[in-house]
Amino acid sequence: MLDAFTYEAPAQRVVFGRGKLSEVGEEVRRLGRSRALVLSTLPHEANARRLSDQLGPLAVGVFSGAVMHTPVEVTERALREVQDRRADCIVSLGGGSTTGLGKAIALQTGLDQVVIPTTYAGSEATPILGQTDGGRKTTLKDKAVLPEVVIYDVDLTLTLPPKLSASSGLNAMAHAVEALYAPEGNPVTSMLAEQGIAALACALPSIVANPTGIGARTDALFGAWACGTCLGTVGMSLHHKLCHVLGGTFDLPHAETHAIILPYAVAYNAAAAPEAMARIAHALSMNDAALGIFRLARKLGLPSGLHAIGLQEAALDQAADLAVASPYPNPAPLDRTRIRSLLQAAWKGEAPSL
């Protein structure tokens, strides 16, 4: 018999398939908007300008200053651009950095968002925003930052490099993993979480072997949406807290940090969440959740530890202190000594121990 539960479906329109970039203008008009500001990172500025040209009179310009971890000073510059160009909506083209900037603008202005993801970040499916101010990353959950429309065009992921595909995919998988042991967990979210984990676990090795395979790219993009949707319906725990500390304070690359930390956070919580661990292992087609994720990351050729992405060992004590500085829900009690040991193992890249 099912326990009582509450599930709140995200109020979001999703357009999924190949060639869907051509429908951006239609979606802007569907929202009743006519002055879109296109957002991107600097490396993707040319793509953003092509999209702006495609939108024609529906676009009022391009802001290509999005960067990792959504620094508040970048948001302030973008807000001035919104005001100067009298934009009435945001079109975000790119990965989590661009999506995050669009959300930050929406939080301040209430503008509608159309998001076109080019990675497997999954943040476009959540009402969650992480922002960095003075080297400290904080998160908030607010319906105001949930994009109104997400356009998933599989063709846009075909040029995503295999290693970035892999790290981005494990970042997405982390959303579903934490959803399976979140206090707000429910049967609907759990079912979607398993499906998302399974889709990514199957697709990512195929993408590394054959980056232009349409089937695997389609499955991975669906998996990213499913995992992101899961996180949008529940809260975050130790894994996301650690990654926000490491990314916001030490400016580590977002996706790679998630990919490295995930198996260790799972191992930390294994004894306290046995049912979730069984479901994760089943979705991975492995016997053990933490080791299964660890071995998948190795199979994908991802960095072997936090040392490999630039974190100094001397920073681990500060990271452990920050991780327990304020309370948050987690299956296992938050113990500074255990978290410091987790970080040490993740820094070295050792196999996680329960």
CATH of the domain at 18: 3.40.50.1970
User: Distance between CA 242 and CA 72 in Å, rounded?
Assistant: 20
Q: Do 263 and 153 lie in a common domain?
A: no
Determine the structural domain holding residue 314 and report its residue range. Answer: 162-348
User: Distance between CA 244 and CA 215 in Å, rounded?
Assistant: 32
Q: Do 103 and 226 lie in a common domain?
A: no
Number of independent structural domains in the chain: 2
Structure tokens given for 221: 């993009």
275 closest CA partner among 203, 155, 182:
182
Check pLDDT > 70 for residue 1.
no
The neighbouring-strand residues paired with 93 are: 116
Residue 323 is assigned to a structural domain of this protein:
yes
List, for residues 24-33, the tens digit of each pLDDT value.
999 999 999 9
Q: Percent of the chain having pLDDT more than 70? A: 99
Q: Do 64 and 149 lie in a common domain?
A: yes
Which of 108, 125, 157 represents a domain boundary (last residue)? 157
Residue 303 is assigned to a structural domain of this protein:
yes
Check pLDDT > 80 for residue 2.
no
Q: Do 86 and 220 lie in a common domain?
A: no
List, for residues 194-233, the tens digit of each pLDDT value.
999 999 999 999 999 999 999 999 999 999 999 999 988 8
Q: Do 178 and 316 lie in a common domain?
A: yes
At 170, the amino acid letter reads: L
Cβ atoms 71, 104 nearer than 8 A: no
List, for residues 160-187, the tens digit of each pLDDT value.
999 999 999 999 999 999 999 999 899 9
Q: Do 188 and 281 lie in a common domain?
A: yes
Residue 67 is assigned to a structural domain of this protein:
yes
Cβ atoms 146, 114 nearer than 8 A: no
Cβ atoms 323, 241 nearer than 8 A: yes
Q: Do 151 and 169 lie in a common domain?
A: no
List, for residues 226-250, the tens digit of each pLDDT value.
999 998 888 889 999 999 899 889 9
Q: How far is CA 226 from CA 35, 97, 119, 320, in A?
A: 30, 19, 14, 31
- pLDDT for the residue numbered 211: 96
**For residues 88-117, average pLDDT:** 97
In the three-class reduction of DSSP (H, G, I as helix; E, B as strand; rest coil), residue 83 is classed as helix
Q: Do 105 and 191 lie in a common domain?
A: no
Question: How would DSSP label each residue in 118-177?
Answer: SSS--GGGSSEEEEEETTEEEEEE-GGGS-SEEEEEGGGGTTS-HHHHHHHHHHHHHHHH
- pLDDT for the residue numbered 281: 98
Q: Do 182 and 273 lie in a common domain?
A: yes
Structure tokens given for 188: 């609907």
Residue 2 is assigned to a structural domain of this protein:
no
- pLDDT for the residue numbered 83: 98
Angle between helices 254-269 and 162-179 (to 10 degrees): 40
User: Distance between CA 212 and CA 208 in Å, rounded?
Assistant: 9
Q: Percent of the chain having pLDDT more than 90? A: 88
- pLDDT for the residue numbered 3: 77
Rg from Cα positions in the chain: 19
Q: Do 208 and 343 lie in a common domain?
A: yes
Give the number of other Cβ atoms within 10 Å of residue 1's Cβ.
2
Q: Do 227 and 280 lie in a common domain?
A: yes
Q: How confident is the model at residue 134 (pLDDT cuts 50, 70, 90)?
A: confident
225 closest CA partner among 336, 348, 124:
124
- pLDDT for the residue numbered 56: 98
Give the CATH number for residue 177. Answer: 1.20.1090.10
Residue 188 is assigned to a structural domain of this protein:
yes
* CB-count burial class (<10 Å; 0-12, 13-18, 19+) for 340: middle
Q: Do 75 and 135 lie in a common domain?
A: yes
Query: For strand 13-17 and strand 128-133, is the pairing parallel, antiparallel, or unpaired?
Result: unpaired
Alpha-helical regions (H) of 60-159 = 72-85, 96-109
Cβ atoms 343, 319 nearer than 8 A: yes
